[in-house]
Each structure stands twice: as C-alpha cells, then as structure tokens.
Amino acid sequence: MELVTSEVGLKMESGTRRNPTLICAPLMADTVDQMLSLMQKAKLSGADLVEIRLDWLKSFNPRTDITNLIKHCPLPTLFTYRPIWEGGQYAGDEKSRLDALRLAMELGADHIDVELKAIDEFNDSVHGYRPAKCKVIVSSHNYHNTPSSEDLGNLVARIQASGADIIKIATTALDITDVSRVFQITVHSQVRGVPIIAMVMGERGLMSRVLCPKFGGYLTFGTLDSGKVSAPGQPTIEDLLNLYSFRQLGPDTKIYGVIGKPVSHSKSPKLYNEAFKSVGFNGVYIHLLVDDVGKFFETYSSTDFAGFSCTIPHKEDALKCCDEVDPVAKSIGAVNCLVRRPTDGKLFGCNTDHIGAITAIEDGLRGSRHFSESPLAGKLFVVIGAGGAGKALAYGAKEKGARVVIANRTYERAREIADTVGGQALSLSDLDTFHPENGMILANTTSIGMQPKVNETPISKEALKHYALVFDAVYTPKITRLLGEALETGAKIVTGIEMFIGQAYEQYERFTGLPAPKELFRKIAA
C-alpha cells in the first residue's frame, strides 16, 4: 500500500493537538438517566462527542427523551437509531424510527446517522429542510467482509450522491490487508474534501480505528469501558488517548507494530509507545493480527509502515519477506525484527530473541558469582519448541558452549534444528523421562501455558527436579505454571519478561536510531 504523506520530521509536539479527528463515545444504556450519567463519564474521559444509541433504550418517548438528552449533554451529540437489519437493536416500524431521527435534527442534535438504505425515505420526509447546525451522516455497515476498492469507491459515491454531509462506511476485516482499501478510500475522500468516517470492524481492523487521524478520517469510536462496544474491535478512549497518543498522530506519523497470531496479549505497544512518547518520537506502535505475513508486507509496502516486531508463528516466514537479512538471523532461520529502509522501502530483518533470552539465562545462572566464561559452557540446554524462538535460543546456547537438545511435538522438526546446530532431538512426549544428568537448563519457547490456557505446561513437575534453571518465553502470565512448579522443585527461574525487555532494546534502537530507555522499559514491563 503506497500512500503519500508529508515528511515533517520525526519530533512530536507534546501536549498540542496535531489532528482534527474526533473521538466519539457510543452510549448504550437501558434508560435516559443511565445515558445522562454516561455522558458525564464520556466528557471526563476526553471524548469529543457522544453517539446516543436510541435503539438501546428499553422505553422511549421521542420528544421528551430527545429534548432531555440534548439539553443535558455536556458534549456535541450524534443520534443513531439503528435497526436490526443494519446491526442495531430497533425492531419497530420504519416511519417511527425516521420520525425520531428527524425530531432529533429539529431539536438541536449536532449529527444524526441515517442508513444508506433509508436515506431516500428520510429525505422525502424532511422535504428538503435541514437545520444548518445538524450534519447528516449517511452510513453503510457490512458485517460480512470488506468489498473491493472499486466497490468501495462506488459505495462512497452513492452515499455522497444521497446528500450526505458526512460519509460513513464500516466493513469487516477477514484479513488485515482489507484495511488498506479503506485507508485508500479515506485518503481519496480527504483529497476531494468530503468528510468520511471509515472503519474496519474486528480485531484485524484495529489499525483502521487507531490510524484514522493519519489518513484524514472525520472521527473514530472509542468505548468508555473495555468490552462494552457498539461494534466489534473498538478500542477504549483511554487506550486511544494514552496508549496510542491519538491526538498526536498526523500524516507524517510512522507506523510500527507487533505481527503475530495471536497478538492481543502482547505488551509491546505499551512498551514502545511509552518510549516514543518519552522522547517525542513521531511514531505509533500497534497490535497487528496477521494471518499471511507475505501478503501483509506486499500490501503495506509504504515507508510509512516503518518497523515491526515479529512473534509466533511468523518468524520464519517473515525472514523470506526480507530484502536483506542479518547474518545471525540467517543462521537461525528466523527474524523477530524488521525495519523498512526509508530511502528505498527495502525490508531488513534481524533476530534479537537470542540476545535477550541468553543474557537473561546467563544472569540467572551467574547470580553474584563471577565466571571467566559463559555459565552456559558445557551445560545441557534443553529447548522446547522448534519455531523461530526455539531456533534462536538453540543457536544462542550453542554459541555459548552449551550442549543443545531440541524437544518438539513433531520429532522430525526437532531433528532438523538439532542437525543445524549440532545437537540432539527429542519428541516432546519423551521429555518427562529424559534426565541423563542433573543441573540441566530448560527453555520453553512455545505458547504452552500462555493466557488463556494458564493450566497447561510442557513438562511434568516431577521431571523439573533435574533442572538447575527453567526459562519460559511466555510472559502472560508472568509466572506460568511451568515456572511456578520449577520454583517448587528448587530451580532458579527466568521469566519471559526478561527476554521481552532484552530483545526490545535493540529493536527500539533499530526503529528510532536512539538509545533504548532501559530503565523505562523495565519499569513498564514490571
């Protein structure tokens, strides 16, 4: 996706608002009194306006209730009365619904939302009368997919032709690359001077909601509370303002993110965004739920998409997408960090996993003692998992003089890596009975034990007594079942947080060209 944006340097002005894009809080409540209470909460949260969802009210007296809602609202209003056939709650007759929206317009609403399917009937009912204060949003919601660029263009043209003051389209992301078409439509509409609200619903569409200021969207929706959403994939207002620094985003903001599946558990956005903010770096870092990493990089080829962390299960496939690969990453066969060169858009890949994890494991073994060589030298180092992180740790341990064993569900896969690093292969099912010696090191690089499956563990507690130190790359939760049981058997433990912080230092420096704020990273990740 090649989008032209102005390059205005990489410093953000802290405290000032860099874009006009609004944050709208959808209000969904059973009663008018509850709605009035939520309005105050929206004002305190930092919202610019509220969407009053009339279809959620259990009882509704149009004139009295709308007057009350407008009179007591501390923010500009957007009235929506969404029917079931467009994803809402209203199941009554169409005339009453449109009459209520017309009434809201006449009584002083700042915006009303009318569906494209109903706009002709609505226009007929108002006989050309529209108060200057009220903007009519004409909307179309697609809960099945995101149409082609051509179909989206035709849809926007139909909405504009209907007399819309503001265009609204909401589609559904089946793949994260669907968002690129909606970004293009947003930019095109902005060029033509047509205000547009363009969202892609679902977790794969998150960046459409966060990045709309960059591409010129009129507003985004942010929820007051996590989980209480009016459409799938909405972030909270708190996250928009504090995690993503929404007010600071502009056309020149660089995009970074963590690529994975799953990915919502990752703490990386909090880590990098706080670090960016601390030095005024004009970038934003987001969760990127990616199914096909090759398709992702092919679609988002602009230098605006400047750098990526890569996690399970894409580390090996991401290497194949790179134009240039660090020799260490090439030896490992996996990358966890990709940077797009600003001069020509080429992707450079490297691997910082082994640095973070091996250093943390060495520190755990060392304690306060001094070693002239690595404390891993000569140790039997058992790696669980044969993915990108497993390869990285096997490579790193071998470099430090350890004897490496790879244990994996699929023995053949373990054998491949073992052959590469000159180690031994095991099937995961044989790990419980594998204890040729005591004082071994165990490193889990799989997602076994990660939230929500916190009761899972890759090895029995009984087998852990043969290990001097146990490391788990999983860091949600911080103390996994594996680490908890390792502690009970007397082993030292190293958490995934240590690896997470260690590998992040170099990534941050590659992304920004600035020294990593190590103390800040430790404070955030603690």
pLDDT band at 340 (very low <50, low <70, confident <90, very high): very high
Region 432-458 average pLDDT: 96
pTM (2 decimals)? 0.88
257 in Cβ contact with 308 (< 8 Å): yes
Catalytic residue of the set 135, 168, 391, 400 = 168
pLDDT band at 9 (very low <50, low <70, confident <90, very high): very low
Position 22 pLDDT exceeds 80:
yes
441 in Cβ contact with 468 (< 8 Å): yes
pLDDT band at 230 (very low <50, low <70, confident <90, very high): confident
Distance between CA atoms of residues 348 and 331, nearest Å:
15
Distance between CA atoms of residues 431 and 177, nearest Å:
40
Region 189-208 average pLDDT: 93
Catalytic residue of the set 214, 314, 315, 398 = 315
Catalytic residue of the set 141, 254, 354, 398 = 141
pLDDT score of 346: 97
Identify the residue whose tokens are 């703490």. 267
Phi, then psi, of 423 in degrees rounded to 5: -125, -165
Q: Active site includes 315? A: yes
Distance between CA atoms of residues 52 and 27, nearest Å:
5
Instruction: State whether residue 193 is helix, strand or coil.
Output: coil
Q: How far, in whole angstroms, is CA 409 from its chain's centroid?
A: 29
Identify the residue whose tokens are 């004139």. 63
The average confidence (pLDDT) of the chain is 94
CA 382, 423, 496, 444: dihedral to nearest 10 degrees?
-50
Position 426 pLDDT exceeds 80:
yes
What are 366-400's pLDDT values in tens digits?
986 777 789 999 999 999 999 999 999 999 999 99
pLDDT score of 372: 77
Catalytic residue of the set 353, 379, 398, 400 = 353
Position 457 pLDDT exceeds 70:
yes
Tokens of 336: 């966890």
pLDDT score of 482: 98
Region 42-63 average pLDDT: 98
Q: Are strands 166-172 and 135-141 parallel, antiparallel or unpaired?
A: parallel
Q: Active site includes 178? A: no
pLDDT band at 11 (very low <50, low <70, confident <90, very high): very low
Tokens of 306: 């400047």
pLDDT score of 1: 61
pLDDT score of 15: 57
460 in Cβ contact with 432 (< 8 Å): yes
Q: Active site includes 141? A: yes
Position 455 pLDDT exceeds 60:
yes
How many Cα atoms are found within 13 Å in the side-chain-facing hemisphere of 131?
Answer: 14
Q: How far, in whole angstroms, is CA 334 from its chain's centroid?
A: 22
pLDDT score of 200: 98
pLDDT score of 370: 73
Q: Which of 205-209, 308-312, 345-349, 498-502 has the lowest mean pLDDT?
A: 498-502
Burial 203-212 (b: 16+ CB within 10 A, else e): ebbbbbbbbb
What are 113-164's pLDDT values in tens digits?
999 999 999 999 998 888 999 999 999 999 999 999 999 999 999 999 999 9
Tokens of 392: 């990285």
pLDDT band at 5 (very low <50, low <70, confident <90, very high): very low
Position 6 pLDDT exceeds 60:
no
Q: Active site includes 461? A: no
pLDDT score of 220: 98
Phi, then psi, of 43 in degrees rounded to 5: -60, -45
